[in-house]
Structure 1
Amino acid sequence: MKAIGYKKSLPVSNPESLIDVELPQPVATGRDLLIKVKAIAVNPADYKVRASMPPTDGEVKVIGWDAVGEVVAIGDAVTAFKPGDAVYYAGDITRPGSNAEFQLVDERIVGFKPQSLNDAEAAALPLTAITAYELLFEHLNIVKQAADAKTKSDEVILVTGAAGGVGSIFIQLTKAITDATVIATASRESSQAWVKKLGADYVVDHTKPLPAQIDALNIGSVTHVASLHSTDTYFEAYTEVLAPFGKIAMIDDPESLDVSKLKVKSLSLHWEFMFARSMFNAKDLIEQSKLLNHVAELIDQGHIQTTIGKNLGVINAANLRIAHAELEEGRSIGKIVLEGF
C-alpha cells in the first residue's frame, strides 16, 4: 500500500522529512477495523511527533490523526461496524497513523461519518471534536441542557484561543447542547467575526488585560475556563476572573504554573489529552466512539459546521510537507485537509 512516513526527525524543509513509501497492507484482528483512507487532516500533533519522535533505525514511522474512510474488513470481535461503512476517527498515537492507504483502528474510537459532509469536510473534525467534547463534558463538567429546561444556566465559560481548531468546535458544541454563556478571546477582526459566527456571546481581546474587559461585560464571574493556548500567559488572569470553586481545563504544554494561586478560591485544574484513553486502553474507551456519533448527529442536524480551511489535494509526501510547514509557521486558517492517493 502507499504510505507517507519518515525515517529520521528532520526539518520540514528537508525533502527526506516526509517520504513516499510502499508498505504491506495490515490485516484486521480482534476489535480492529481495516479502513481504506479517503481523506485526512493535519494537526499540530503531526509535526510535533515528526520533529521529536524518530523511529527505530531503518524503520518508517507513519503518522496522521484525523481521517475519513471506508471499512473494508473487520476483526473477529468487532460488533458495531461492517465492511462498507463510512467512518471518521482520530486514531491512536501509539499506532501507525492515517497517512497511508489502509489503517487499522480499534472500533471503540471510530464513529460513523456525518452523512451531510463530504470526505474532506468530515476529515477536518475528529481530533478537535473529541478534544472539545471531553473538555466540555468530562473535565469542565458543563451541564447538558434539556430541551424543555425552564431555567437558564449560570455557567459562564471563558475560552482562550477560541478561533483555533479546538475552540471553533468547542464554541459550537457549547451553544448546541448547553445553556452556558461563552466569552471567547480573539484579537484580529477576522477572528472576532469568526467566533461570533460560531455562537460566542461575547468577545474579548487577549492582547489586552482580560479581567477589566470581563468585568465590563457585567455578567458576573466566570465559572469555567477552557484554556486552549498560552495557559502560562493567562494563568494569573484566570485565577482573578474565576468564581470560587471554578474549573480550568487546558490542552497546551505550559513550562510551569504556580498552582498555589488556585488554593484561596479552591479552583481546580484539569488537563485534556484525547489520546490518553487509547494509550492506556481505558475501560471507557468506547466513549470516544459514542461522542463521535453524537457529534455526527449534531452536524447532520445543522448545529455544527466543519472547520475545513484548505484542501491541498492528493495525499502524498510533497503535499504533506507543505501542510506541516504551514502549521509550523502558523499560517493556516481552519483545518488543512488532503484527499485521495
Structure 2
Amino acid sequence: MKALTYEKAHTLDAFAIELTEVAEPRLRDGDLLVEVRAIGINPGEATIRQTRSAEPGGQVILGWEFAGVVVAAGATGFAVGDRVMGTGDFTRDGCWAERVAVDHRVVAKIPDRLAFTEAASLPIGVLTAWESLFRDRDALPAGVDRVLVIGGAGGVGSMATQLLKATTPAFVISTASRPESRKWATAMGADLVVDHRGDLAGQLHAAGIDHVDLVFSTSGTSGHLGAIAEVLRPFGHLAASDLAEPFDPGALTGKSLSLHSEMVFRAGGDVGSQGRILARAADDVAAGRLRPIVTTTLDGLTAETMKTAHALAESGRTIGKTVIQA
C-alpha cells in the first residue's frame, strides 16, 4: 500500500515526507483494519516530524486522527463496511496511509450523514478535552462553575468549549487574539471571549468576574502560568495538554491548586473508555449538540498537501481543524 513516510527528523523548509510503497499493516488481536478516507492534522505531528527519526532501515508514518471504512474486523464488535473514526497508538504506525491497523477500543462508529472529513476533525479534540475536563464520573470537579479555556479557537479548545456548553451549566470563557478567532470561539459557544495576549485578570474583572474555578490550557501554558495563577481561585484546577516542554510550577504555589496533565495516548488504564467517549460524541453530533470543527479541507494524501498542512500547523494561526481528504 502507499503511505506518507520519512526517515530523518527535519524542518519544514527541508520537508522530506514522501509518498512511498510500504508493507500492509500487521494486525494484532483486537485490531481493525481501516481504509482511510480522511485525516485530521494536529500541531503535535509537526513537532514529531521535527524531532523523531526512524530506526535504522525503517521509516516513520505519522498521523493519529482519522475516519474511514472497516475492511477487516475479527471478533471486535465491528463489521466490515462500518464507517468509523478514531485515534490510534502513538507507538505504532499512524494513519497517513491507505490503510491503518488500530485497536478497536479507540474507534467508534459514525452516523451515516456525517462526512468522513467532518468525522476526522473530532477524535483528538474530543478525547483531549473530555479527559482534561471531566475527571469525576464524566463530570466537572465539584464546585466548578466558571471555566477558562486558553486557546479556544484551536481544535482542542473548540471541542472543549462545545463539550462544556453541551453537557454542563458552566460559564465558559475562551481566549482568542484575532477578530476571526474571536468570532470562531463565540460560535463554539463561549459566553465570554478575552485576549490571552493581554491582562487576563484585568479583562475578567472588567466583565465582573473575580476568579475562575478551572483553567484548561491547550497551548503556551508555561508562558501563561503567572496569569493562570492570578485568575484561579484557591483550591482551583489547572488542566493542560502541552506540558511536554520544561515546566516550572512555582507560580502555582500558594493556592493549593490541582494540576492535571493530559495526553490522549495513555499508558494503561481503561483504554476502552476512549471508544465510549467517541461513540457518545458521535451521538451528540447526530443530535446537533456538537458540531464538527473542520475549517480547511485539502484534497489528496500527497506530499504536497501534507506540506501545506504542516505549514498551517506550524503557523500557530489555525482556527478549528485542517483535514485532508484521502
TM-score in same-fold range (> 0.5)? yes
Contact 1:12 1:18 in 2 (8 A): no
SS in structure 1 at match of 2:299: coil
Please name the residue that 2:9 is paired with: 9
Please name the residue that 2:61 is paired with: 62
Whole-angstrom CA distance in 1 between matches of 2:80 and 2:138:
36
Shift of 1:339: 1.6
Please name the residue that 1:149 is paired with: none
Shift of 1:327: 1.3
SS in structure 2 at match of 1:312: strand
Whole-angstrom CA distance in 2 between matches of 1:47 and 1:108:
26
Q: Cα gap change, 1:212/1:50 in structure 2, threshold over 3 Å: closer, same or farther? A: same
Please name the residue that 1:150 is paired with: none
Whole-angstrom CA distance in 2 between matches of 1:330 and 1:111:
29
Whole-angstrom CA distance in 2 between matches of 1:154 and 1:92:
32
Task: Tell me the amino acid that sits aligned with residue 191 of structure 2.
Answer: D
Please name the residue that 1:137 is paired with: 134
256-265 or 160-169: which moved more?
A: 256-265
SS in structure 2 at match of 1:58: coil
Task: Tell me the amino acid that sits aligned with residue 38 of structure 2.
Answer: A
Please name the residue that 1:326 is paired with: 312
Whole-angstrom CA distance in 1 between matches of 2:136 and 2:260:
6
Contact 1:262 1:268 in 2 (8 A): no
Whole-angstrom CA distance in 1 between matches of 2:136 and 2:264:
12
Contact 1:3 1:21 in 2 (8 A): yes
Please name the residue that 2:21 is paired with: 22
Task: Tell me the amino acid that sits aligned with residue 11 of structure 2.
Answer: P
Please name the residue that 1:312 is paired with: 298
SS in structure 1 at match of 2:219: coil
SS in structure 1 at match of 2:133: helix
SS in structure 2 at match of 1:223: strand
Q: Which whole-Å deviations, capped at 9, do the CAs of 1:34-84 have from their partners, x for residues lacking one?
A: 111111121112111111110012212111111011111124xx3321111
134-143 or 264-273: which moved more?
A: 134-143
Structure 2 counterpart of 1:164, from 149, 154, 164: 154
Please name the residue that 2:186 is paired with: 196
135-144 or 81-90: which moved more?
A: 135-144
Whole-angstrom CA distance in 2 between matches of 1:144 and 1:84:
39
Task: Tell me the amino acid that sits aligned with residue 300 of structure 2.
Answer: V
Q: Can you give the 5+ residue segments of structure 2 that lack an aligned partner in the other structure?
A: none
Shift of 1:261: 3.9
Whole-angstrom CA distance in 1 between matches of 2:30 and 2:247:
40
**Corresponding pairs, count:** 326
Task: Tell me the amino acid that sits aligned with residue 133 of structure 1.
Answer: W
Task: Tell me the amino acid that sits aligned with residue 120 of structure 1.
Answer: T
Contact 1:110 1:292 in 2 (8 A): yes
SS in structure 1 at match of 2:255: coil
Structure 2 counterpart of 1:85, from 78, 82, 92: 82
Task: Tell me the amino acid that sits aligned with residue 131 of structure 2.
Answer: E
Q: CA RMSD in A?
A: 2.1
327-336 or 171-180: which moved more?
A: 327-336
Matched, 1:127 2:124: yes
Q: Can you give the 5+ residue segments of structure 1 that lack an aligned partner in the other structure?
A: 146-152
Please name the residue that 1:215 is paired with: 205
Whole-angstrom CA distance in 1 between matches of 2:261 and 2:144:
23
Whole-angstrom CA distance in 1 between matches of 2:281 and 2:112:
12
Whole-angstrom CA distance in 2 between matches of 1:178 and 1:166:
17
Shift of 1:263: 3.7
Q: Which whole-Å deviations, capped at 9, do the CAs of 1:74-114 have from their partners, x for residues lacking one?
A: 24xx3321111111011111100001111110011111124
Task: Tell me the amino acid that sits aligned with residue 134 of structure 1.
Answer: E
Contact 2:127 2:277 in 1 (8 A): yes
| Aligned positions of 1:278-289 closer than 5 A | 280=267, 282-289=268-275
- Per the normalisation by structure 1, the TM-score is 0.90
Contact 1:114 1:122 in 2 (8 A): no
| Aligned positions of 1:168-187 closer than 5 A | 168-187=158-177
Q: Which whole-Å deviations, capped at 9, do the CAs of 1:198-228 have from their partners, x for residues lacking one?
A: 1111111222211121122224521000011
Task: Tell me the amino acid that sits aligned with residue 52 of structure 2.
Answer: M
Whole-angstrom CA distance in 1 between matches of 2:250 and 2:62:
38
Task: Tell me the amino acid that sits aligned with residue 14 of structure 2.
Answer: N
Whole-angstrom CA distance in 1 between matches of 2:73 and 2:245:
42
Q: Which whole-Å deviations, capped at 9, do the CAs of 1:265-318 have from their partners, x for residues lacking one?
A: 211111011112xxx2x2300000000001111111111111112111011222
SS in structure 2 at match of 1:127: helix
Contact 1:28 1:73 in 2 (8 A): no
Task: Tell me the amino acid that sits aligned with residue 3 of structure 1.
Answer: A
